[in-house]
Structure 1
Amino acid sequence: PLSETTYYTMLGLAGEPMHGYALMQKVSETSQGTVSLGAGTLYTIFSTLEKENLIEMVSEADRRKTYALTPKGKQVLLLQIRRLEIMTQNGQNAANLLEI
């Protein structure tokens, strides 16, 4: 399973390659403000994801590094999305049993 911050980082890269600052804004927007990434946290995530071959740097201009999901990264993200869908469905089923 991916951590929440890693999940939103990868989710932010699902549509198009992005540089760090744009991705921090995208994560905040996508998570409706529930996840806020600082630069240090984001670049630690980038480093880890690069080592695991889940993202790659696709360009570097004016000190801005742009990252994209690799094919392996896309596969891992899809598996996580499916996992979360199952968890959500199980939670909804349990919530229905708890209603008074």
Structure 2
Amino acid sequence: MSEQAYFVLLALAEEPRHGYGIVQAVKVLSDDRVRLGAGTLYGILDRLVEAGYAEASGEVVVDGRLRRYYRLTPDGYATLAAETARLTDLASLARRVLAARPRPALGTA
């Protein structure tokens, strides 16, 4: 799963959101490291919906524009939990490997 898709799932775990709300939540959750363009976001949402991890949960017209809201499905929550556990395990492994390896002296590679 891509980092971007992970953050979209994480944003939807908080509450149902429309596209712009997802983009803003991902910026906040990632400390502004991940920024999603419309094409990227809707491509991710299409894949998440196709996989059964998210679903459209309603539409609202605001200022003449349609906002489609998305929410996580039970499979989406399970996938998010599994991916979080996988990332936690990877981070633990990386900490062990880095702690066991001597650090190079400054100025050397």
TM-score range, shorter chain: over 0.9
Moved over 3 A (4+): none
Give the alignment of 1:4-15 within 5 angstroms. 4-15=3-14
Which ranges in structure 2 are unaligned for 5 or more consecutive residues? 104-109
Q: Which residue of 2 aligns with 1:26?
A: 25
* Number of residue pairs aligned between Structure 1 and Structure 2: 99
2:87, 2:102 → 1: CA distance? 22
Query: Considering only aligned residues, what root-mean-square deviation do their CA atoms show, in Å?
Result: 0.9
1:89 to 63, 75, 92: 92
**Cα distance, 1:82 vs structure 2:** 0.3
**Cα distance, 1:98 vs structure 2:** 2.1
Give TM-score, length-normalised by structure 1.
Answer: 0.94
3-state SS in 2 of match to 1:36: coil
Structure with the greater alpha carbon radius of gyration: 2
3-state SS in 2 of match to 1:74: helix
**Cα distance, 1:8 vs structure 2:** 0.5
Give TM-score, length-normalised by structure 2.
Answer: 0.87
Which ranges in structure 1 are unaligned for 5 or more consecutive residues? none
The one-letter code sitting in structure 1 at the alignment partner of 2:92 is Q
Q: Which residue of 1 aligns with 2:107?
A: none
3-state SS in 2 of match to 1:37: coil
